[in-house]
Each structure stands twice: as C-alpha cells, then as structure tokens.
C-alpha cells in the first residue's frame, strides 16, 4: 500500500539540472523515502512523463511542461489508482505547472496560478467553482523557475527528511507581523489561532532590522502588503508604506523548522529572481533557511481591515490545525474545507482565496507533537503501535474525503450574468458611500446552486413569488506606491429586493 506519492517530470528535471544535478536530486529523494519509511510512510515516486508507468494508471504523459490539462488528468489517474494519504509535487511551475484559473474577482489579475485542482477529483476546468470538492492532501516542494542548480530544492528535501515533531508550545510562541492599518484584523486572527496577540509587531513603527529576535520563533503569521516579483512585504499606516520584511533579512536571520502563513498579495508567488532582476521570493528565502512549510497566495489576496475574512481565515485555520499535531498537508486541506463550509462561496473574493492559496513544503511533515488533550483522544498515539497509527491516518483520510465530497454539494456559486432593479443598486451604492468608498466599477452576479439550494430558496418564498439571490460587487482602486496594491470591494448579497448582508474586502 502506498501512503505518499512524489510527483514530477523526470525528463524535465534532467533538462533543468543536467545529469549530475539530477543524480544529486534523486539521491535526496531517496533519502526522503528512507526517512518516510522510519515514520511508517510508504513513499513512491511517480514520473508523469513515463509512458509505461502512466499506462498502468490508465493515463498518458502530458505533452510538455505547459500541458496543464495533461498534468491534471495524469495526476488524477495516479491519485484515483493509489489513494495516497499525501501527495507531493516536486519543483516549481516550470516542471509541474500550476493550473491557470479564471479570476472571479474584479481586480488587476486576469487569472490565478493554482494548485487547488490537484487537490480535487473534479475534472479539468478553468473555473475555481468547479473545485469546491477538495479531498486530497497536497504540497509542493519548489525551486524557482529556470534555476539550474538543484542545491536549494535538495536542501528543502533534506529538511523534510530530518524533520521531527516538536512540542506544540514551541509553535504556540509565534511571531506576528502586520500592517498597522490591519491591526484589528490581525489581532483577531492571532487570538483565534494562538489564543493571544501579545507577539504582534506592527509596521510602522517596526522595520526589518528590529525583527531578528522575532524571526527565531517557530510560527510566523504575516499580514502585510505584497506585490508581484517583489522580495519585500510592506506595512501601512495611512499614506506611509514602510518595508516590513525582506527576503534578504529572512535569508540572513531565519531559523530552521519554522512554519509560515502569509496573507500578503503574491506571498507564495514562485518567480524567477534572475528574470525579475531582484532577490529570491520571501517564500523561497524561508525554505532555504530551513522552514518546514509556507502557506501563501500566488496573486492579489484579500481580507477585511477590521474583521476576519478571506486570507485571514484560511491562514488562521491552517495554524489551528498545525498546533493540534496535523501534518502540514492535512492542516491545509482542513483549512480549505472549513473555509468552504463557513464562507459564502457566492462572494467572488472567497472563490479567489480558495484558488490562490497553496502549501509550499512536504505535505507529510508534522511540525508539532499533538497536545495532551488531542493525543489522549487518539488511541494509537497512546499505545504507540505503528500499525494502529497508520490505520488511524487512513480513517482520517476517509473522513476528509467524505467531508470534501459533502460540503461542495450544498454550495451556490456566482455567475456574471445578473441584474438588479435600479432601486436596489442605488441603495447598495449609498451604503458603499456611507462606508467611505468611491467605487469606479460594479458588477452583478446571479447565483446558481444545486437542487438542494433551489429547494431551500423555493421554501423561503411564498407560493406566488420565487426568491432570487444575486450579488453586487463595487470596486475601488486607490493610488499607492508601485510596490503596493490598494483595491477595495463592497460585496452586497441580495435576496429578492432585500439586501441580506454586506461584506468588505481590502487587498493585502
């Protein structure tokens, strides 16, 4: 029985790193497989470019490294045949591509680079909404595109091979960093994930040289501005936008075994630093210094300024599960499932959040020993029997698969073909103005759901009039420095002619 699969394109890796580099990388893979065996995890490599291997799974190799449909189909075939507990994508999007999804939000991103489709059994699509059924534990151990030296990715694999769970208390002592503008929102996230916000630094006034002591903590929760092809995270207080953290500082002062969740725009973007003419992405800098995992967004991310939503939630849910002893991959899958369960997926920014966040790191690594109250609820951890532990893990995967299959069934999604009466539009615009917005654009979505959703809406209506749900999104783009994206949304949920709720989102 296979517990974990490492997925890569062998010929593409050989071309990227040459014969000697690939041989060194293969040795690191072998060492990880051996380390996994000591953890009672049976790991197998799958080369998606191997025609004979793919034939056994009822699939064919992708045409090339840009064949997103081919990769999705091949990985689905392998996952369906082997039902692994963990999936690990090896290297960056130049070896195993992100699936490029259409962006449902009204902002400057035309598309979303996403690993979400690999975590879902749904067939290939460009629509985030097709992937609300999330059932697989997936992580990616990357290198930057076009790198010719495998030293970094070998180091990432070595870190995963040597990782050992540590006391949860070590990870509860976190490092929090936030733009001052979002202090209230970040405090709420830290309170939810860690039980307090006492370790929160705000930018301004903090700047990178004052953060070294904080970097030594093993959990990092970051809520700052980010930008494309940028090695910096930026704070904000009004019109002041100081640098809050840089990849150079992480490279110089970071420590091993850190787990990071960054709400920032582009925090998980894997760009080529040579092509961009700048330093490594912050996510790569963390991994080089020995971080176990990094959860971040591939493009413009969102969250409210004074409450929690979007990026706030998926990152805090991730940390809550890590602190309970979950593997990085399980913690992220549970965060995705909880996000889908608790949030209105009719909000386009929620759909984008689901599509854009990904896990960089070995999905099977467990940073924390489960706290006593969690360990005592798991008989296998009390007895120490490895076969019991494996059985328990398999049972969890069955439960997660069942949960993923069920939560998507009752969800409605937005479709950009709606309309509203002028009276309702006028009321929504007035609410936006009262909240300090000056929208430059608006769009109206109709809402579509499955039979259960339609039945519920019909039951709410009277016998003569069927209720119709729609969503109106008003967008404001504000001036900001070149390394900052400042986009705000007001999202109104309308049922019939009534405004049921209002949500606000600010670009991170």
Q: What is the DSSP string of 47-96?
A: ETT-HHHHHHTT----SSTT-HHHHHHHHHHHHHHH--SEEEEES-TTTS
Specify the pLDDT at position 381.
43
Per-residue pLDDT at 289 exceeds 60:
yes
- Say yes or no: 190 and 318 in one domain: yes
pLDDT mean over 435-440: 95
pLDDT mean over 14-20: 97
d(CA 251, CA 155): 14
- Say yes or no: 123 and 151 in one domain: no
- Say yes or no: 166 and 291 in one domain: yes
- Say yes or no: 99 and 247 in one domain: no
For 454, the domain range is 413-507
Specify the pLDDT at position 375.
56
- Say yes or no: 358 and 417 in one domain: no
- Say yes or no: 236 and 356 in one domain: yes
d(CA 355, CA 252): 32
**Tell me: the pLDDT tens digits for 209-221?**
667 888 999 999 9
Specify the pLDDT at position 413.
92
d(CA 413, CA 343): 11
230: domain CATH number is 3.40.50.1460
pLDDT averaged over the chain?
93
**Tell me: the pLDDT tens digits for 298-352?**
999 999 999 999 999 999 999 999 999 999 999 999 999 999 999 999 999 999 9
Residue with the larger pLDDT of the pair 288 and 1: 288
What are the residues whose beta carbons fall under 8 Å from the beta carbon of 463, sequence distance 6 or more? none
Banded model confidence at residue 363, pLDDT cuts 50, 70, 90: very high
- Say yes or no: 127 and 157 in one domain: no
37 is a domain residue = yes
- Say yes or no: 96 and 152 in one domain: no
Boundary (domain end) residue, out of 376, 399, 421? 376
- Say yes or no: 353 and 494 in one domain: no
Query: Among 442, 492, 491, 500, which Cα is nearest to 467's?
Result: 500
406 is a domain residue = no
Query: Among 257, 255, 270, which Cα is nearest to 94's?
Result: 270
Boundary (domain end) residue, out of 79, 104, 131? 131
Q: How many CA atoms lie within 13 A of 360 on its CB side?
A: 35
Instruction: For residue 144, count other CB atoms closer than 10 A to its CB.
Output: 22
235 is a domain residue = yes
Extended strands (E) in 280-433:
293-297, 302-303, 357-361, 368-369, 413-415
183 is a domain residue = yes
13: domain CATH number is 3.40.50
- Say yes or no: 89 and 175 in one domain: no
430 is a domain residue = yes
387 is a domain residue = no
- Tokens linked to 212: 């070294």
- Say yes or no: 19 and 94 in one domain: yes
∠ CA 171-208-213 to the nearest 5 degrees? 40
Boundary (domain end) residue, out of 131, 163, 188? 131
Banded model confidence at residue 383, pLDDT cuts 50, 70, 90: very low
Specify the pLDDT at position 213.
83
- Say yes or no: 166 and 100 in one domain: no
Q: What is the 3-state secondary structure (H, E, C) of 276-294?
A: HCCCCCHHHHHHHCCCCEE
d(CA 288, CA 267): 16
d(CA 467, CA 457): 6
483 is a domain residue = yes
139 is a domain residue = no
Q: What is the pTM of this model?
A: 0.94
Count of domains in the chain?
A: 3
């Amino acid at each position: 029985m296979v517990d974990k699969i490492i997925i890569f394109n062998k010929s593409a890796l050989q071309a990227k790193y040459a014969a000697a580099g690939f041989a060194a990388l293969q040795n690191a893979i072998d060492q990880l497989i051996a380390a996994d065996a000591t953890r009672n995890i049976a790991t197998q490599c799958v080369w998606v470019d191997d025609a004979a291997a793919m034939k056994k799974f009822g699939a064919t190799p992708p045409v090339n490294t840009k064949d997103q449909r081919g990769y999705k189909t091949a990985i689905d075939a392998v996952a369906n045949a082997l039902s692994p507990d963990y999936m690990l994508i090896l290297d960056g999007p130049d070896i195993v591509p992100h699936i490029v999804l259409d962006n449902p939000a009204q902002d400057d991103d035309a598309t979303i680079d996403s690993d979400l489709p690999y975590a879902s059994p749904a067939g290939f699509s460009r629509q985030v909404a097709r992937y609300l059924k999330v059932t697989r534990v997936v992580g990616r151990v990357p290198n930057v595109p076009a790198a010719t030296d495998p030293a970094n990715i070998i180091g990432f694999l070595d870190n995963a091979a040597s990782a050992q769970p540590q006391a949860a208390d070590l990870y509860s002592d976190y490092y929090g960093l936030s733009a001052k503008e979002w202090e209230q929102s970040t405090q709420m996230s830290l309170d939810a994930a860690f039980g307090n916000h006492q370790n929160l630094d705000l930018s301004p006034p903090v700047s990178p040289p004052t953060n070294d002591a904080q970097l030594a903590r093993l959990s990092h929760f970051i809520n700052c501005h980010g930008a494309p092809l940028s090695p910096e995270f930026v704070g904000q207080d009004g019109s002041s936008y100081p640098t809050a953290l840089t990849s150079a500082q992480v490279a110089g002062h970071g420590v091993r075994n850190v787990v990071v969740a960054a709400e920032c725009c582009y925090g998980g973007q894997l760009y080529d630093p040579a092509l961009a003419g700048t330093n490594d992405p912050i996510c790569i800098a963390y991994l080089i210094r020995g971080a176990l995992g990094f959860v971040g967004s591939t493009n413009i991310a969102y969250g409210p300024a004074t409450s929690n939503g979007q990026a706030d939630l998926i990152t805090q849910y991730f940390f809550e599960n890590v602190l309970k002893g979950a593997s990085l991959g399980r913690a992220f899958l549970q965060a995705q499932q909880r996000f889908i369960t608790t949030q209105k997926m009719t909000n386009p920014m929620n759909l984008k959040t689901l599509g854009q966040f990904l896990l960089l790191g070995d999905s099977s690594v467990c940073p924390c020993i489960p706290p006593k109250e969690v360990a005592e609820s798991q008989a296998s951890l009390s007895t120490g029997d490895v076969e019991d532990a494996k059985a328990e893990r398999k049972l969890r995967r069955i439960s997660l698969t069942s949960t993923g299959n069920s939560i998507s069934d009752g969800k409605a999604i937005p479709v950009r073909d709606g309309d509203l009466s002028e009276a309702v539009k006028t009321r929504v615009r007035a609410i936006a103005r009262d909240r300090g917005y000056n929208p430059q654009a608006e769009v109206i979505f109709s809402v579509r759901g499955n039979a259960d959703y339609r039945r519920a809406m019909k039951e709410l209506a009277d016998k003569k009039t069927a209720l119709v749900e729609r969503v109106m999104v008003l967008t404001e783009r504000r001036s900001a420095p070149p390394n900052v994206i400042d986009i705000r949304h007001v999202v109104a949920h309308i049922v019939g002619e009534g405004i049921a709720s209002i949500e606000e989102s600010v670009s991170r």
